[in-house]
Chains A and B, each alone.
Chain A
Amino acid sequence: MVKFQFDPTKCILPYDAKELRPTKCLKCLEVCPGSLLMFRPLKEKDENGAPKFFEIHMLFKAYSKKYCPDCFKCVEICPEQAIKIII
């Protein structure tokens, strides 16, 4: 299984109220050839109940060995070095 580690202290994804989702920077999502990465809200919420911050998460972990091509594009593109992939 591929181990995906994301450090929310290095990469902060704030909620964009206009777009109704986080908009910065999500470059890792764009480059993932298997579309295995997604954003998900952290627990902290604002007065409207909207999530304040998000984190990057890898889905379909059990099959990540099959669908993650080990390209490390997400690691390379992250400007904050917040992503680690352990194989």
Chain B
Amino acid sequence: MCKFCRKHAKEHGKWYLNPEGYTEELFYKLNLLDRILGRKPKKVRDAYKSADAAWYPLDISKQLELVDLASKPVLGKLVRMIGNHIAIKSHSGQVVPTEDALKIVDLSHDHAVYPCMCKRLFKGQDEYKCLNFAPITDITRHTPRHWKEKRLSPEEAKAWLQDFSDKGYVHAVFWWCDMPQAICICNCDNKYCYASRPKNWYDITNVYRRAEYVAEVDPDECISCGKCQERCQFGAISYDSNGRAQVDPRICFGCGQCRGVCEQNALKLVDRNTHTIAKKIW
């Protein structure tokens, strides 16, 4: 079991399935805005209206440039250690399969979608891909000049998530500043994602953690159509000498999106904690 689940899941099994992680009480208890802004605001909404937080989505290049230091031979090791330490406490994410993402919609309330910051910055396009929920949506509602949003009912949010799942985007639940307060479900395209790139390129592992699951193939059912390999954003699927698909558990993130294209239902997700190889790889 991952350390977050051990600490925060209680009887719910996984940390993000604990209803306590979606309450406003927790948000205030953790003093999240105090940590974001470095001071205690009288009212949450007032704090968010201030300029220092408002323009943050447009200028994250400085933080991302620090990631580059991880490429240095000696300094890089230190940067990775610090990066991983900060990432656990600050803005980080974990991949979740679609069924868990739908459960998160049931646990949270006040849903709204926002343009993906990654695609905005790296592609110059606004694609509504990030599903936020209260209390973040309560704050952003009062700061319309900084955020574009589309409000969704829980049913709409679920349909919207399912639609992204059909397109093969990877769901990831993100928290902000401290666990276990979940704030959004991103639907990631790794090509633009600035959470997955530091992980995959620079080995800053805690920025974007793997799911509690790992994919497995039933070789008897596989018809070697190649669709799952095409779908996998992480490059975890290859073909053996018999032409059957195989998943590398050391690479698989457990998003489960490969299952959606398998007409034979040859792919399934198993618990990462019970997998001999994957259980230590997060």
Contact = CB atoms under 8 A, between A and B. Distances in A.
A22 B65 CA distance: 21
Interface of B: 51, 54-55, 58-59, 61, 64-65, 67-72, 120-126, 145-148, 191-192, 197, 201-202
Interface stretch (A3-11, A38-46, A79-87): A38-46
A44 to B, nearest CB: 13
A14 to B, nearest CB: 13
Given A51-B58, A60-B68, A29 B124 contact: yes
Nearest to B123: A29
Contacts of A20: 58, 145-148
B120 A21 contact: yes
Given A19-B126, A23-B124, A32-B122, 18 more contacts: A21-B120, A21-B124, A26-B124, A30-B125, A35-B122, A36-B122, A39-B124, A40-B58, A40-B61, A49-B55, A50-B55, A51-B58, A57-B61, A59-B65, A59-B68, A60-B68, A63-B68, A63-B202
A26 B69 CA distance: 27
A21 B146 CA distance: 10
A38 to B, nearest CB: 4
Contacts of A74: none
A38 B146 contact: no
B122 A38 contact: yes
